[in-house]
Amino acid sequence: MGGPSAEREVSLSSGRECVAALQVAGYQVVAIDAGADLPARLADARPDVVFNALHGRWGEDGCVQGLLEWLRLPYTHSGVLASALAMDKTRAKAAFAGAGLPVAAGRLACKAEAMARHVLPPPYVVKPNAEGSSVGVYIVPEGANSPPVLAADMPEVVLVEAYAPGRELTVSVLGDRALGVTEIFAPGWYDYAAKYTPGGSRHVLPADLPAPIADACLDYALRAHAALGCRGLSRTDLRWDAAKGLAGLIILETNTQPGMTPTSLSPEQARHVGIDFPALCRWIVEDATCSR
């Protein structure tokens, strides 16, 4: 849990919740705040299974997964390749498109280019190619006269993609089962604060959708999980423009290590199908392996 990424605080929150749930489920748990001494901490702890509650770079991009494979420690969630693909939004979109799944048009651009001119016709979105939790996302509205002024800590290469209007939807996949469709309502757009502040967003589960759209959401999430080679728990975020029918449904991204905080969506969806949080954490632990 924890770690050095931009999502450190979210990971600490996820980790605390998982520690408590795993203890309720009957496990002996050692909480490790992941830093440069992680190999030594793991050697000291000698765990039977590593529950990976890290978020963001190093924790869900294949790096810590590679370390755990090297140490031959069974671990949870997705493996090296699926984690790396999902974190790299451009490559994930290519995998989705190759599986026949709809994605927003876009391309990589130099940070300087993205600030010098409109890389795409507005409205569009500029964001890091390899971050989560809506970190560093800029929405350029229709009719904007100038491109965005990006923060100094934005990467030198960014992803620019067409803005996908519509309703905010998400589906968690547990193993080979799609758990349900949630619609997310936030005062503005679904940013970091809306995701992790109590009361920052409202979730409707199951989402009030036409049956063909709800079925397509479940199907797309399962196919996205498979296209990336995910294991265990994943969550796929979608947008639906109702005016376009099924053609208005697109995949935004797949998260290979969904948040496990008190406001997180995957535990909520698991509860909706009768899996309480300790039982969810138990399922994830029992699913752990090497060579994922």
Instruction: Reply yes or no on whether 259 is catalytic.
Output: yes
Residues 264 and 258: their CA atoms lie apart, in Å, by 8
The pLDDT of residue 135 is 67
pLDDT number for residue 57: 87
Please confirm, yes or no, whether 235 is among the known catalytic residues: yes
* Cα dihedral: 70, 67, 50, 254 (round 10): -120
Percent residues over pLDDT 70 in the chain = 94
Annotated catalytic residue 274 = no
The reply to whether 5 belongs to the active site is no
Q: Three-class SS of residue 64?
A: helix
Which residues, 6+ apart, have CB-to-CB distance to 6 below 8 Å?
Answer: 56, 57, 131, 133, 135, 136
Beta strands in 129-271 (DSSP E): 138-140, 157-162, 167-174, 177-185, 202-204, 233-240, 249-255
**208 included as an active-site residue:** no
Pick the CATH number of 8-77 from 3.40.50.920, 3.40.50.2300, 3.20.20.80, 3.40.50.20: 3.40.50.20
pTM assigned to the model:
0.91
Catalytic annotation on 75? no
Q: Please, is 176 exposed, middle or buried when counting C-beta atoms within 10 Å of its C-beta (0-12, 13-18, 19+)?
A: exposed
Residue 217, pLDDT > 90, answer: yes
pLDDT of residue 3: 94
Q: Binning pLDDT at 50, 70 and 90, where does residue 130 land?
A: confident
**Options 57, 231, 235, 292, the catalytic residue:** 235
- For the chain, the average pLDDT equals 93
Bridge partners of 266, per DSSP, are none
State the maximum Cα–Cα separation within the chain, in Å, rounded to a whole number.
58
The catalytically annotated residue of 15, 253, 264, 282 is 253
The one catalytic residue among 163, 259, 266, 268: 259
Q: How far apart are CA 165 and CA 162, in angstroms?
A: 9
Please say if 133 is a catalytic residue. yes
The band of 192, judged by pLDDT with boundaries at 50, 70 and 90, is low
Residue 187 in this model has a pLDDT that exceeds 90: no
Reduced to 3 states (helix: H, G, I; strand: E, B; else coil), residue 214 is: helix
pLDDT at 191 over 80: no
CA–CA dist 36, 114 (Å, integer)? 34
Q: Is the pLDDT of residue 98 over 80?
A: yes
Instruction: Decide if 248 is catalytic.
Output: no
From the list 78, 234, 255, 266, the catalytic residue is 255
- pLDDT one-digit tens code per residue, 3-37: 999 889 999 999 999 999 999 999 999 999 999 99
pLDDT, position 239: 97
pLDDT band per the 50, 70, 90 thresholds, residue 186: confident
CA 118 – CA 162 distance, rounded (Å)? 11
Q: What are the boundaries of each domain within the chain?
A: 8-77, 85-102+165-275, 106-162
CATH class of 85-102+165-275: alpha beta
Given 3, 7, 75, 124, the catalytic residue: 7
From the candidates 75, 237, 264, 282, which is the catalytic residue? Answer: 237
